[in-house]
């Protein structure tokens, strides 16, 4: 176990840990001020008032959360049996039964659920010599001074005390009495996870004044040079180079390609095919059959196979069957 965890379960934690973002609700006793008798009641009040403000600022900065409420109170402190003496500035010499009891009450309240910080401890050495009060009454006077300051002199809406009631007194005065501050933080803000859906990207139509790119002009020039095709495009809004925005790109076969794909008799010296041959044989499947009988007195030119490798009919070179 870590040292912070052991201090958390056995006698509270440190104030620095309460100011961290990953802190758990607990109480701290290591951030106290010196309340010696030489300072007097007014000086002790000023010290405690400044400490309350400093603690609130440190908690808000460290936890990144706002302090919603804080409560001022007092409780008894006993001497630790393992210590030979009681020192108000050394929390290891304290027996924190009263502090842990107060924390057990405040952690279930809406104004002290997140932590409790001891501000200072009063013993006999902290009481001025002329005062005829014990440490319990002197701690009560400090508590009332803080309440008057935050409720009347410099009102703070975050203070949760509603009355100036001193509470009940102990039957047997303890060796010391502690003045503490309990507080409640604002809830943590939930961070929204980024949505898995991608936002829609809307594309706007290109303006009519956009000039065609060099790549588009290169494609049109290549199509114009092809033997079997030609490209034409309309011109609109000619630019500096004489090119406009193409309204349509049409690829059409040239006269040579149309002549090669149009069906005609394979050879003028051969007899023309019949109507059945034009429709094809075997129910319109495969190449058409043709009458290869030569005309009387004509010379039969050399023949070759069809351009289609699967078609075995004799054809004139550069001729393709209509069915192929």
Question: What is the model's pTM?
Answer: 0.56
Question: Given pLDDT bands bounded at 50, 70 and 90, which one contains residue 324?
Answer: low
Question: Given pLDDT bands bounded at 50, 70 and 90, which one contains residue 131?
Answer: confident
Q: Which residue has the higher pLDDT, 294 or 130?
A: 130
Average pLDDT over residues 264-280: 55
CB 155 within 8 A of CB 85: no
**Distance separating the N- and C-terminal Cα atoms of the chain:** 86
Average pLDDT over residues 12-24: 92
Question: Given pLDDT bands bounded at 50, 70 and 90, which one contains residue 305?
Answer: low
Say yes or no to pLDDT of 125 above 50: yes
User: Residue 249: in which H helix or E strand, if any?
Assistant: strand 249-253
Q: What are the pLDDT digits (tens) for 193-241?
A: 545 555 555 555 544 444 555 666 766 666 666 555 554 444 444 444 4
Q: In the predicted model, what is the mean pLDDT of the chain? A: 74
List Cα–Cα distances, 281 to 182, 217, 295, 315, in angstroms: 104, 47, 23, 16
Q: Which two tokens stand for residue 154?
A: 């410099």
Q: What are the pLDDT digits (tens) for 61-106?
A: 999 999 999 999 999 999 999 988 999 999 999 999 999 999 999 9
Query: Of 167, 180, 220, 177, which Cα lies nearest the Cα of 15?
Result: 180
DSSP one-letter code for 13? B
Say yes or no to pLDDT of 56 above 80: yes
Number of H helices, E strands in the chain: 8, 9
CB 223 within 8 A of CB 213: no
Reduced to 3 states (helix: H, G, I; strand: E, B; else coil), residue 286 is coil
Q: Which two tokens stand for residue 213?
A: 């790119």
CA-CA distance, 99 to 118, in Å (whole number)?
A: 8
Query: Of 72, 68, 71, 88, which Cα lies nearest the Cα of 80?
Result: 88
Highest averaged pLDDT of the listed ranges 4-8, 48-52, 253-257, 294-298: 48-52
**What is the structure's pLDDT at 150?**
96
Phi, psi (rounded to 5 degrees) for 146: -65, -40
121 forms beta bridges with: 178
The CB density around residue 26, as the number of other CB atoms within 10 Å, is: 21
Cα three-residue angle 26-123-48, rounded to 5 degrees: 55
Question: Given pLDDT bands bounded at 50, 70 and 90, which one contains residue 321?
Answer: low
Q: Which residue has the tokens 């004489």?
A: 242
Say yes or no to pLDDT of 247 above 60: no
Q: Which two tokens stand for residue 323?
A: 């069915």
CB 86 within 8 A of CB 68: no
CB 201 within 8 A of CB 195: no
HSE of 164, CA atoms in CB hemisphere, 13 A: 11
């Amino acid at each position: 176990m870590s040292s912070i965890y052991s201090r958390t379960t056995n006698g509270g934690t440190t104030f620095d840990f309460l100011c961290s973002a990953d802190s758990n609700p607990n109480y701290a006793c290591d951030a106290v001020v010196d309340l010696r008798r030489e300072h007097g009641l007014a000086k002790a009040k000023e010290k405690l008032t400044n400490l309350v403000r400093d603690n609130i600022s440190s908690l808000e900065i460290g936890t990144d959360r706002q302090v919603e409420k804080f409560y001022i109170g007092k409780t008894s402190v006993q001497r630790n049996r393992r210590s030979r003496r009681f020192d108000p500035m050394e929390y290891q010499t304290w027996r924190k039964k009263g502090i842990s009891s107060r924390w057990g009450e405040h952690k279930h309240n809406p104004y002290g659920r997140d932590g409790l910080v001891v501000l200072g401890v009063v013993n006999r050495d902290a009481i001025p010599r002329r005062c005829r009060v014990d440490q319990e009454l002197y701690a009560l006077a400090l508590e009332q001074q803080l309440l008057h300051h935050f409720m009347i002199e410099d009102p703070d809406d975050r203070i949760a005390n509603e009355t100036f009631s001193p509470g009940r007194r102990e039957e047997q005065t303890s060796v010391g009495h502690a003045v503490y501050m309990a507080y409640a933080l604002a809830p943590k803000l939930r961070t929204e996870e980024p949505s898995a859906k991608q936002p829609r990207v809307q594309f706007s139509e290109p303006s009519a004044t956009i000039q065609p790119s060099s790549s588009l002009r290169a494609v049109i020039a290549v199509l114009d040079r092809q033997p079997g095709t030609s490209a034409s495009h309309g011109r609109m809004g000619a630019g500096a180079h004489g090119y406009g925005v193409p309204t349509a790109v049409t690829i059409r076969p040239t006269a040579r390609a149309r002549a090669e794909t149009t069906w005609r008799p394979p050879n003028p010296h051969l007899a023309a095919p019949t109507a059945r041959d034009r429709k094809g044989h075997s129910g319109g499947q495969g190449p058409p059959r043709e009458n290869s009988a030569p005309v009387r007195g004509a010379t039969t030119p050399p023949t070759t196979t069809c351009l289609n490798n699967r078609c075995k009919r004799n054809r004139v070179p550069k001729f393709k069957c209509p069915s192929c």
